[in-house]
Structure 1
Amino acid sequence: MTASVAMDLQPKIAALRAHPSFPQASRALAIGLTGFYRGGPLLNWLMDDRARVVLSHVVLHSHFARDPADPSSGLTPTRMKELCSEFDLCSPGRATAMLSLMRFAGYLAPDPDADDRRRRPLVATPKLLDLLRPRWRSHFRSGVPVFPDGAVLAERLDDPAFVRAFLAAMFGRYKDGFRLIMYTPGLGLFGDRSAGMMIASTFLAAGAENDTVPPSRPFAISISELSRRFGVSRAHVAKMLRDAAPDGLIMRAGDKGEEITLTPVLAEALSVFYANAFIFFFDSAREAAATLDGDNRNIGERRQRSA
């Protein structure tokens, strides 16, 4: 995505945010994504929430994109370190550590068909796709109020060819410069700290049914619950909230500061972030569908001509 193409996303983001059902869709997505979250002290130390999402997509795409005629293709530690650096995900050392953790957890395995063991090629196991597919479905099903094709795209995730094309489309956007936090400097420390986006997403969905999304009225939070839910220490959550107030992201009230009000800066950034995420996933999926449908039409036409 060149700079000019990236700039074109801003009108799409504005149009999506103006849709009357966008608040409902963004709240549903925030609830879904925070419900799927899996973290822990080591994972959080190695790589932030967003980077782990991108890495999982890059790993799967590299697995499926292996070209037997190209020894440098496929899923190798060297390639992953290069891409982690290119996409600003983490250092080469942390990329190596993340791959080791993924192997230990059963998401990756050594390539049993590798001819050159020096490259240490890996393969993604079905367990990794089983982890990600429900999260992708959450994006599409949450988006149905504003994207009528969301249910159809969610169903197509059962098609291996569609999954490969979907991953390729997402990878192409990353290569072209897309980032989930584009246009959202107002996320501040929530965009940088461990579990920060999950905590901010919890805030987005925390309002009463008759409140706005993100909420404009105060809501109560529990530091202990946020700590337990997202695998970070209570001290980490408490410091994040303490720092967010003077940064102009939240206001706190109550005896222990348990009542939170989002400032317009953070509310705006969260809304833009979720609009950007919806556009990224739906545009990638639609590109994948168009590619596959076009290929199928071409095959059908060739068969008709040869009949």
Structure 2
Amino acid sequence: MLRTDADDDLSDPLLAEAAELRASPAYPVAVREYTVAIARFREAPRLINKLIASETRFRLTAYVFCFAAYYEKHGPHGGVTYTQLLELCTQREELSPRLLKTTLTLLKLAGFIKTTRHPSDRRSKSYHPTPRMMDFVKSWIPHAVNALDAVQPDMRRAQMLAEDPDFIPRFAAAAGHEHATGIPLIDRMPEFTCFFGKREGAIPVVLAVMLSDIDSTPLPSRAQIARRFGLSKTQVSNMIAEGSRLGFLATDEAGTPHATAHLRDSYGRFISIELAFYARHMRPG
């Protein structure tokens, strides 16, 4: 039988862990914490916005950071090589060599990575995150930490993040290993992530709509959404049209979009899968 995004395959441990998170009475609080933090994070300077506007570029940025952290601990020379990243692109069909080169160029321009040459082969070089990239990750990771603290307060992950300097490198190394060997998160909800995770501009539009839905507040105009997230008004309109076609959004007579039950369910499930992944690797030292 064809599996849909609405099905829970509890033989998949991560999906079982995600279902446990959704069952928590505090899960709606976690969804709001996640949504508010991610929306704030996506209000980025122009160059950073260009880097994260494409979800595939942003995902590849996370892979670079996590793989570098993993090989810093387990590789002979530290850092992640172009060949190792290219092997990942071969495994993940949506990550092309051209996208890899573009993303690495943007990361260099942003000052997020530095390169070192292999001591015995000057043609081989490794990429290492810079302190600026670490600051970028520190501004991004609280969305997961705060959301998880809402449903698993005894773990005190926000405290770990604040007090343990190895918290982020430890998480990144563990996550890098699973990224390389496990099922990609986006493959667990292909219907939703083909829109949410692969359409440039879809995430900011969904965040704006879901914040309006969660807080029962008026949705900002398309121009306001575009300004807030560094998009064009046309991009916002295109994503509203695409989301409506797929059943995630519905529009009223004035053309204002709102969340459908399908979006609420898909969004909540996707967040639970992400949080289950983070929870698995955000552990004490």
TM bucket normalised to smaller = 0.7 to 0.9
| Structure-1 residue corresponding to 2:127 | 122
2:272 paired residue among 271, 275, 294: 275
One-letter amino acid matched to 1:228: R
Partner of residue 206, structure 2: 200
Match of 1:285 in 2: 282
Match of 2:5 in 1: none
Q: Relative to structure 2, which stretch is displaced further, 239-248 or 93-102? A: 239-248
Question: Which stretches of structure 1, 4 residues or more, deviate above 6 A after TM superposition?
Answer: none
The unaligned stretches of length 5 or more in structure 2 are: 1-8
Q: Matched residues, percent identical? A: 21
Q: Which amino acid in 1 is paired with 2:225?
A: L
1:95 is displaced (CA, Å) by: 0.4
Determine the C-alpha separation between the residues in 1 that align with 2:117 and 2:194. 44
Matches within 5 A, 1:53-92: 53-64=58-69, 65-66=71-72, 70=76, 74-92=79-97
- Show the counterpart of 1:229: 228
1:262 is aligned, of 249, 255, 259, to 259
Q: Aligned with 1:33: secondary structure?
A: helix
Equivalent positions of 1:45-194 (< 5 A) are 48-49=54-55, 51-64=56-69, 65-66=71-72, 70=76, 74-111=79-116, 114-152=119-157, 154-156=159-161, 158-174=163-179, 175-180=181-186, 182-183=188-189, 185-186=191-192, 189-194=195-200
1:199 alignment partner, SS class:
helix
Aligned to 2:17: 12
Does the C-alpha gap of structure 1 residues 142 and 47 become closer, same or farther in structure 2, counting only changes over 3 Å?
A: closer
Output the CA distance in 1 between the equivalents of 2:133 and 2:51: 21
Please state whether the residue corresponding to 1:245 is helix, strand or coil.
helix
Asked if the contact 1:181/1:273 (under 8 Å) is kept, the reply is: no
Report the number of matched residues.
274
Q: Deviations over 1:258-287 (max 9, x none)?
A: 2x222221111101011111111111112x
User: Is the CA contact 1:60–1:167 (under 8 Å) kept in the aligned structure 2?
Assistant: yes
Larger Rg: 1
**Distance across 1 between alignment mates of 2:52 and 2:22:** 33
CA shift, 1:36, in A, is 0.7
Alpha-carbon displacement from aligned partner over 1:133-166 (angstroms, at most 9, x marks no partner): 2321231123222111453455346534333321
Q: What is the letter of the counterpart of residue 200 of structure 1?
A: V
Q: Residues 279 and 154 (structure 1 numbering): CA distance in 2 closer, same or farther, change over 3 Å?
A: farther
Distance 1:6 1:161, change over 3 A: farther
Pick one of 28, 38, 45 that aligns with 1:23.
28
Partner SS, residue 205 of structure 1: helix
Structure 1: distance between partners of 2:271 and 2:24: 13
TM-score in terms of structure 1 length: 0.77
Please tell me whether the aligned partners of residues 223 and 234 of structure 1 are also in contact (alpha carbons under 8 angstroms).
yes
Deviations 1:219-267 (A, max 9, x none): 4331112212222221111122123223322111143x12x22222111
Structure 1: 5+ residue runs without aligned partners?
Answer: 212-217, 293-307
Q: Alpha carbons of 1:86 and 1:153: their partners in 2 closer, same or farther (altered >3 Å)?
A: farther
1:31·1:202 contact (CA, 8 Å) conserved in 2? no
